[in-house]
Amino acid sequence: MTTNHIALDVGDTRITGIEASGRPGMPLLVCLPGGGYNASYFDVLGYSLVDAARCEGFPVVSLDRPGYGGSTALKGEISFRRNAQVLQGAIAELWHRHLSNAPGIVLVGHSVGGAVALHLAAGDRTWPLLGVSVTGIHDESQRSNEALKSAPPASSMEFSREHLLRFMYGPEDTYDPSVLDLAKHAESPVPLAELVEVAGQWCTDFAWIAAKIEVPVHYGLAEHEGFWHSSDESVAAFGNAFTAAPSVTARRILGGGHNIDHHYVGAAFHKEQLDFAKGLVSPAQ
């Protein structure tokens, strides 16, 4: 893995992350991790989307969302909408750095990061968005409330190993148990406000957000999903909500759990995501 640590200062807000360079003419991938994980979620040894992207020539950045890693925590309202507002400016700064080499940006979001990526795709931007690839997010909550019920009375919580096994990973034959130790450095406390929103307001907001997205969408939901109802029908219904998108690819990822990237099927799914991003750039570009 060849990555650099970066810091983006937008007003009085700092957003940190990791970055790997790529070839001119390739889309810039901007990755947003989910609740309970910092930017290193996408760069776990042996399970790294960042490394796979770098090998394919993509410039790629994985960001610490507000309150994670070295990124400034949100003041007042902690919500997916506010995450998107803050990250819009940070991504604009990234784009300024890459605009002479990249034709545009592809957002990659997992779980809560996927919800934030969809907020970004639906909103006003100062940078060109080519498409969005999201995993681990839906609008039919299955067990999010169970995570809330087991949370301590505090403003944030750390997922215990029991929580990780119960919510983040699938059956034992779908992943190598050593990945939990390899990914330990990627874990961060999750604001309880994120769990509250993902189990409530997000499920109400999703339909109007999806209807505003006008770029190609790539979507995957794990077969053994820990938070969402996962079936072929539920995945198709989620994909059908993107009524303004020029194209939508939505499928159920067999043999995976919520943290798809850290399962045996992760490498193949990474290739699928990178092929999607390549397809957004015409040979003329």
Structure tokens belonging to residue 135: 């995993």
**75: Cβ contacts below 8 Å, ≥ 6 apart:** none
The predicted model scores a pTM of 0.94
Cα separation values, 34 from 177, 255, 273, Å: 20, 20, 17
Rounded Cα–Cα distance for residues 159 and 62 (Å): 21
Domains and CATH numbers, the chain: 4-279 (3.40.50.1820)
Hey, how many other C-beta atoms are within 10 angstroms of the C-beta on 188? Answer: 23
Rounded Cα–Cα distance for residues 261 and 48 (Å): 8
Whether the Cβ atoms of residue 86 and residue 13 lie closer than 8 Å to each other? yes
**Tell me: the pLDDT tens digits for 233-256?**
999 999 999 999 999 999 999 999
**Tell me: the pLDDT tens digits for 114-125?**
999 999 999 999
Residue 147, pLDDT score: 54
CA 133 distance to own-chain centroid: 8
Q: For the stretch 144-163, what's the b/e string if a residue is b when 16 or more beta carbons lie within 10 angstroms of its beta carbon?
A: bebbeeebeeeebbebeeeb
- The mean pLDDT value for 187-209 works out to 93
